[in-house]
Amino acid sequence: MKLRSSFEVDMIEPNFVLISDNANEEGTMSITNDAENVIKWLNGQRILKGKRLFYIDTEGRVDELIHDGVGNFIDFRSGFNTIEEFEQEKMFL
């Protein structure tokens, strides 16, 4: 597995992880386009166990990558229009 995207791990909480996309770096894909590898990498780092995964995309939206808990990407889920909306709701996740 080779990551083709670039991202930062911004927050690791008991119920979720938040990462942000660095797709504007030359030669990198977005998290959206590299979702399978992102999930596999984070799972290999033991970051995802029992946690939901949210990501800030290149347009500033916060969406969710749904995974099966053992390193497999399942689907996308629309989330929040801005990081501010996410911040207001994160205590309920």
Helix H or strand E segment including 16:
strand 16-21
Domain annotation covers residue 8: yes
20 is a domain residue: yes
Enter the tokens of residue 68.
Answer: 């099966």
* Domain limits for position 41: 1-52
Do 22 and 6 form a contact (C-beta atoms < 8 A)? yes
Q: How many domains does the chain have?
A: 1
Measure the N-to-C terminal CA separation of the chain; round to a whole number of Å: 30
12 within a domain of the structure (yes/no):
yes
Per-residue pLDDT of the chain (93 residues; tens, 9 = 90+): 789 999 999 999 999 999 999 987 677 899 999 999 999 999 999 999 999 999 999 899 999 999 999 999 999 999 999 999 999 998 888
pTM of the model as a whole: 0.93
